[in-house]
Chains A and B, each alone.
Chain A
């Protein structure tokens, strides 16, 4: 019952946020300072919350992988699988929305030497390979164990990738404080409230999808159990 309420709230929030995005929210930048068509900057309301949701999902994979290796409880494995799948989808959407925005703002879909772009791509690739590992092992216990190991080392390599690409110059703006190299402006007043609305909507979306995916996996488990019991 509680879950259904969460799903309902999520659906309403997503609808509201999409409506707000197109009809109410202001352009999140001084239109004079925008490169390209300032209207394109509205994709920001979508791009940032999706990216942060993806990062959070990967963090959940990391934590639940550690918990799995400590306790060997299947629920942690199911949680990391669901979080990784949702994270990969959200990371992909981040890359796509960022590229579309980049085409308008920087006149290029991809800027290969930029920090943020590369880190997002690396994250996406690492968790794609995480899903590859899961696909390659059939025994559930072994699959959970091996993918937990990769969930840990994959997440650890992310901050180092972040550091290593730091050496190259930056194009992607720094929006969420703290920003060591300046920036961090641009969000304030009205824009901030609309942004928080979108954050709430997309966090809820990620959480609901994760819960659905976990239910799905638990049901699959139950079905297998029944099959085994009845020698099917």
Chain B
């Protein structure tokens, strides 16, 4: 359970400055605002043959674009911050398994992501005067999707921190690997927003759970290779 200590250290440092959290929330807000400028007028148009409003079609994509883009900011700083002042060396000297470092980072990144998502969702509802039909289902989908994002993202953030162009490289290598998560999460979110049940998204939820499990396990095995010298 040493990873709780590592996560606590990260979150403590983060809440002292709130540097990361502020920029993530503001960035997510900006993405939503840009979407509302771009689609605001057309969003309420009703499409008869789909029996949906245009905003229903766009909402899942908009939400996940803002989540993943804002999450990317947090991920790229997650290990880059440790690089300064040799903190990563200190972490590696900790008498814990290397995978505990990974688990701790996952936890702190996930907390930041969830805080950002909790701030973004109300803004989205206000700007599009949107009504979420199945809030519980949406929360489950967002949690599963976020964990998938964080499990892979934390591993690749550790991988890119040693490269020359880390801030640019991370999104480039992360998004192709994330495609299953984003596809399933967007599709499941769309169904949950329009009053679907868990049984309607069973397939998507299966994919998300399988993806989360596989990458959590694989990351435990390969993480030590990303930070060893």
Residues of A within 8 A of B (CB): 69, 122, 125-126, 128-130, 132-133, 136-138, 142, 145-146, 148-150, 152-154, 156-157, 160-161, 163-165, 167
Contacts and interface: CB of A to CB of B under 8 A. Distances in A.
B222 A146 contact: no
Given A161-B179, A164-B180, A153 B222 contact: yes
A152 B222 contact: yes
B43 interface: no
20 contacts: A69-B222, A125-B175, A126-B177, A129-B173, A132-B172, A133-B159, A136-B164, A137-B163, A146-B159, A146-B163, A149-B225, A150-B173, A153-B218, A153-B219, A156-B215, A157-B177, A157-B180, A160-B207, A161-B183, A163-B210
A163 B222 CA distance: 24
Interface in B110-160: 152, 155-156, 159-160
B163 A156 contact: no
Nearest to B168: A136
A153 B152 contact: yes
Contacts, number: 93
Interface in B194-229: 203-204, 207, 210-211, 214-215, 218-219, 222, 225-226, 228
Contact of A149 (B159, B166, B184, B215): B159
B176 interface: yes
A164 B183 CA distance: 7
Nearest to A130: B173
Question: Size class of B's contact patch?
Answer: 20 to 34
A167 B222 contact: no
B144 to A, nearest CB: 13
A18 B215 CA distance: 43
Interface of A is mostly: helix
Contacts of B169: 132-133, 136
Contacts of B155: 149, 153
B164 A153 contact: no
B49 interface: no
B180 A149 contact: no
B51 interface: no
Given A145-B225, A153-B215, A133 B176 contact: no
Contacts of B183: 161, 164-165
A150 B226 CA distance: 10
Q: Which DSSP category, helix, strand, loop or mixed, fits chain B's interface?
A: helix
A138 B163 CA distance: 8
B165 interface: yes
Nearest to A138: B164
B187 interface: yes
B162 interface: yes
Task: Among A122, A128, A130, A150, find the residue whose CB has the most chain B CB atoms closer than 10 A.
Answer: A150
Contacts of A125: 175-176
Nearest to A123: B176
Given A161-B179, A161-B180, A142 B204 contact: no
A153 B183 CA distance: 18
B137 to A, nearest CB: 17
Given A133-B159, A160-B180, A165-B183, A152 B210 contact: no
A136 B165 contact: yes
A146 B162 contact: yes
Contacts of B215: 153, 156-157
Nearest to A167: B203
A195 B155 CA distance: 42
Contacts of B210: 160, 163
A103 B215 CA distance: 37
B162 A137 contact: yes
A160 B214 contact: yes
Contact of A163 (B152, B207, B218): B207
Nearest to A137: B163
A49 B45 CA distance: 48
List 10 A-B pairs, minimum CB-CB distance, nearest first: A136-B163, A129-B173, A125-B176, A164-B180, A126-B176, A160-B180, A157-B177, A164-B207, A161-B180, A149-B222
